[in-house]
Amino acid sequence: MNDLYQRDCLRLLDFNSKELKKIIFLAQKLKQNKKNHQEIPLLKRKNIALIFEKESTRTRCSFEVAAFDQGANVTYLGPGSTHLGKKESIQDTAKVLGRLYDGIQYRGHCHKTIETLAKYSQVPVWNGLTEKFHPTQLLADLLTIKEIFPNKKFHEIKCAYVGDTRNNMGNSLLEAASLTGLDLRLVSPKECWPDKKLFRLCQEKYKNKKGKITCTENILTGVKNVDFIYTDVWVSMGEPEEIWEKRIELLSAYQVNASMLNLTNNNKVKVLHCLPALHDQKTIIGQSILKKYGFENGMEITDDIFQKHEQIIFEQAENRLHTIKAILVSSLLKTIDF
Ligand code: CP
Ligand code: NVA
């Protein structure tokens, strides 16, 4: 029996290192099969519910295309389209959906909600982003890193995550590093460092690995000799608009730009971004926020750096599909040939 069968994915620490490796390996195989037009639909007659309380492009489309490729059906439940938590308790909705569907994806405001869905639905529940974690993004990132350095062990790869390091991406990167041994530096002002309890837990789990996890305010120490610089938006979905001013004050020195890349001392340094990115003024938010605060050339990442590294950034986005497919297949099939 496949030991990932019926398993939830609420956060990366739901898996151990070996299981995480298996998922990445399966994603690699599924990607290859799709590219070679050899994909076998293994999820025929499976039904999947997709609950989205927040907006999404990559995550929603990846779940849908992964399901369609594998022969499964999906129901999209967008903001305000169910009774969840409003007219019906999360427990009751979980029990109903669990009787109708084989698995449930949740993207929303509150990590507690997804824990309740998982507790009461009796089917696998997958986290498509909460304020705390974004595990399926990290699966794509790990696959992307592995594709760039196929012969390196994770502890031989150095990554600096720069910006709001206590957000769902910072937390998930920490968990990813603790499981894989990725040498991770969280680079931001102290105020933006992750929750101490989570940091300690990840360090504990990291103990036996050869790299390390560190937090630093110092940009030079943080990015020196790294293979990757990873960043994300400074204000996440669900945070109030008024927070921009304070966040910009805190993080403007941590913008990913040409000077920061020079500090890495590595002319082959790669840049990662989970997207969406505020790198130009071609969006409504880009126009209002960038103009308002006088950022001509991007916010968390400058447009020139984004353009230069977009090949990898968009590969990361594509890899959402292959890794989410691996999560669906591994949790919905009793037996599977890894
Ligand atoms: N990276 C990510 O989760 O993108 P979406 O918000 O478009 O799903
Ligand atoms: N930290 C971001 C990630 C988006 C994929 C957010 O939660 O909005």
Mean pLDDT, rounded, for 325-330: 98
**Which atom from ligand 1 is nearest to the alpha carbon of 129?**
3
For residues 123 and 187, membership in a common domain is answered with no
Residue of 204, 162, 166, 210 whose CA lies nearest to 185: 162
Residue 103 CA to ligand 2 centre (angstroms): 23
215 DSSP β-pair partners: 186
Residue 62 is assigned to a structural domain of this protein: yes
For residues 126 and 252, membership in a common domain is answered with no
Confirm if 152 and 146 have CB atoms less than 8 A apart: no
**338 has a pLDDT exceeding 80:** no
pTM above 0.85, yes or no: yes
**In the prediction, which pLDDT does 209 show?**
74
For residues 148 and 277, membership in a common domain is answered with yes
Confirm if 321 and 36 have CB atoms less than 8 A apart: no
In angstroms, the CA 188 to CA 251 distance is 7
Confidence at 207, pLDDT banded by 50, 70, 90: confident
Residue 7 is assigned to a structural domain of this protein: no
Give pLDDT tens digits for 150-174: 999 999 999 999 999 999 999 999 9
Which residue's C-alpha comes closest to atom 6 of ligand 2? 236
Confirm if 225 and 266 have CB atoms less than 8 A apart: yes
For residues 23 and 159, membership in a common domain is answered with no
For residues 224 and 196, membership in a common domain is answered with yes
Residue 66 is assigned to a structural domain of this protein: yes
Residue 2 is assigned to a structural domain of this protein: no
Please choose from 57, 76, 134 the residue to mutate so as to test ligand 1's pocket, defined by most ligand atoms within 8 A of CB. Answer: 57
Averaged pLDDT of the chain: 97
Residue 25 is assigned to a structural domain of this protein: yes
Residue 112 CA to ligand 2 centre (angstroms): 18
Which residue's C-alpha comes closest to atom 4 of ligand 1? 58
Mean pLDDT, rounded, for 233-259: 97
Domain count, the chain: 2
Residue 280 CA to ligand 1 centre (angstroms): 18
Residue 163 CA to ligand 2 centre (angstroms): 12
Residue 31 CA to ligand 2 centre (angstroms): 25
**In the prediction, which pLDDT does 208 show?**
75
Query: In this structure, what CATH number is given to the domain that contains residue 34?
Result: 3.40.50.1370
Residue 150 CA to ligand 1 centre (angstroms): 25
| DSSP letter, residue 183 | E
Residue 211 is assigned to a structural domain of this protein: yes
Give pLDDT tens digits for 106-140: 999 999 999 999 999 999 999 999 999 999 999 99
- Domain hosting residue 19, numbered range: 12-133+320-332
Q: Which residues line ligand 2 (CB under 6 A)?
A: 129, 134, 167-169, 232-233, 236-237, 274
**In the prediction, which pLDDT does 270 show?**
98
Confidence at 45, pLDDT banded by 50, 70, 90: very high
In angstroms, the CA 314 to CA 320 distance is 10
Percent of all residues in the chain with a pLDDT value above 70, rounded to a whole number: 100
For residues 85 and 195, membership in a common domain is answered with no
**In the prediction, which pLDDT does 225 show?**
98
For residues 278 and 298, membership in a common domain is answered with yes
Structure tokens at 247: 């966040």
Q: Give the CA angle between residues 103, 107, 242 to the nearest 5°.
A: 175
Please choose from 134, 275, 324 the residue to mutate so as to test ligand 1's pocket, defined by most ligand atoms within 8 A of CB. Answer: 275
